[in-house]
Amino acid sequence: MQAVLALEDGRVFRGKGYGASGDALGEVVFNTSITGYQEIFTDPSYSGQIVVLTNPEIGNYGTNSDDNEAGHPYIEGLVVREFSRISSNWRSEQVADEYLQRFRVPVIADIDTRALVRHIRDHGVMRGMISTSEFDPEKLIARARSIRKMDGTDLARVVSTKEKYEWHKGPVSFGSAAADEPAKFHVVAYDYGIKHNILRMLRGGCCRVTVVPAETSAADVLSLNPDGVFLSNGPGDPEPCTYAQESIRGLLGKAPVFGICLGHQLIGLALGGKTYKLKFGHHGGNHPVKRMASGKIEITAHNHNFAVDPDSLKSSDVEFTHLDLNDNTLEGLRHRSLPLFSVQYHPEAAPGPHDSHYLFNDFAKLMEEWRGK
């Protein structure tokens, strides 16, 4: 199967098609993680995006039901150098090619992905289209240009659960299964596109977890008597999500709050700050983040196109807790007087290193303290 990727600025790559036949439209971003393609496929934060994986060999270990971060893939399309026809791993249940075909995700392979990544690095993220049926570059470029821009787009509402539900599964473990600990806290988690591993981590950290839709009001959340409120990751621009910012303002000081990624950006906005779009975002599993309090470095998983502007929060009562050492992006903050903290990156990893798991303990401690007050 032939496939073509066309970018809005006119650059075109021709390769082989895998996965589903058809078209994919979205913002083209690259991810530099070596492992974890399945988690990337299924991370709702990639909604609206075509993902380029820099690791050239993809699909090697197949797919399995434990490594999903959501019920189905959220990426619009996939761009790789080499896509494995077979899978080899003791946990594999389905070859990656069949898996993406099943969920109607088109793949373009066999192109110079490094050239594409350099192009995005130099020119910023841009819209693009993969097609396995239309090969006229002019038409493809025109359609790429017609895609709605990510800036100003609220996608959290689109991917969020429509109904409240309870989450019961703890972290995936092989070998010795982790004992099911009794729940000590009740956490209400906003789903802006929440990754399953956040829920697993919360459950594993002795929390009863109730997941609520993005647009749930502060009052409704507080009526569930939470020990803490969690604000999840998610796709799109945080700015248009005014409903969420409003809910967060309603929660301030009423319950401990922990936010990740989009949740962190929404906190920044709720506190009166501003967010901005990065040139090509942070997407990978190797970013050094400095914890300001101790000076220690964590190797962290990132997946964000937007970031909170620290200057915009100078007048608020906020302490900057984490900093990206590659480009000094603000990666974490804590309120000085209210029980609230958030990080821009992904302590739940999946995929990525586990250096920041401690944040879930910090959240538990915060809830414990709050309960004591």
Helix (H) or strand (E) holding 169: none
Contacts with other proteins by CB under 8 A: the residue count is 58
3-class DSSP assignment, residue 208: strand
Question: What's the min distance (Å) between Cβ of 278 and other proteins?
Answer: 12
- Contact between 351 and other proteins by CB under 8 A: the answer reads yes
In the beta sheet, which residues pair with residue 28?
50, 126
Residue 182 or 295: the one with the smaller Cβ distance to other proteins is 295
Label the pairing between strands 207-213 and 165-167.
antiparallel
Residue 86 or 219: the one with the smaller Cβ distance to other proteins is 86
- Contact between 353 and other proteins by CB under 8 A: the answer reads yes
- Contact between 66 and other proteins by CB under 8 A: the answer reads yes
Question: What's the min distance (Å) between Cβ of 21 and other proteins?
Answer: 22
Residues 162-201 that bind other proteins (CB under 8 A): 172, 174-175
Contact 190, 234 (CB under 8 A): no
Residue 88 or 337: the one with the smaller Cβ distance to other proteins is 88
Residues 354-373 that bind other proteins (CB under 8 A): 354
- Contact between 94 and other proteins by CB under 8 A: the answer reads no
Question: What's the min distance (Å) between Cβ of 174 and other proteins?
Answer: 5
Residue 157 or 354: the one with the smaller Cβ distance to other proteins is 354
Among 67, 237, 239, 331, contact with other proteins (rule: CB under 8 A): 67
Question: What's the min distance (Å) between Cβ of 169 and other proteins?
Answer: 14
Residue 87 or 342: the one with the smaller Cβ distance to other proteins is 87
Residues 226-285 that bind other proteins (CB under 8 A): 284-285
Q: What residues contact 179, with CB distance under 8 A and at least 6 apart?
A: none
Strand order in the sheet with 274-291: 165-167, 207-213, 185-191, 228-231, 257-260, 340-343, 330-335, 318-324, 274-291, 297-309
**Residues annotated as part of the active site:** 261, 346, 348
DSSP assignment string, 137-162: HHHHHHHHHHSPPSTT---HHHHS-S
Among 4, 6, 7, 13, contact with other proteins (rule: CB under 8 A): 13
User: What is each CA distance from 8 to 16, 120, 130, 279, in whole angstroms?
Assistant: 20, 11, 12, 16
Among 72, 115, 152, 169, contact with other proteins (rule: CB under 8 A): 115
Structure letter (DSSP) for residue 182: P
Question: What's the min distance (Å) between Cβ of 85 and other proteins?
Answer: 7
Among 157, 299, 320, 338, contact with other proteins (rule: CB under 8 A): 299
Beta strands in 62-121 (DSSP E): 77-79, 82-83, 106-109
Contact 34, 55 (CB under 8 A): yes
Angle, alpha carbons 339-359-39 (nearest 5°)? 125
3-class DSSP assignment, residue 225: coil
Q: Which residues of 71-97 are buried (b: 16+ CB within 10 A; e: fewer)?
A: eebbbbbbbbbebbeebeeeebeebbb
- Contact between 2 and other proteins by CB under 8 A: the answer reads no
Rounded Cα distance, 313 and 287, in Å? 23
Determine phi and psi for 116, rounding to 5 degrees.
Answer: -65, -45
- Contact between 5 and other proteins by CB under 8 A: the answer reads no
Residue 118 or 314: the one with the smaller Cβ distance to other proteins is 118
- Contact between 118 and other proteins by CB under 8 A: the answer reads yes
Residue 72 or 118: the one with the smaller Cβ distance to other proteins is 118
Structure letter (DSSP) for residue 60: T
Among 81, 127, 203, 264, contact with other proteins (rule: CB under 8 A): 81
Residues that bind other proteins (CB under 8 A): 13, 30, 32-36, 38-39, 54-57, 60-61, 64, 66-67, 81-82, 84-91, 111-115, 117-118, 121, 172, 174-175, 284-288, 290, 295-297, 299, 325-327, 349-354
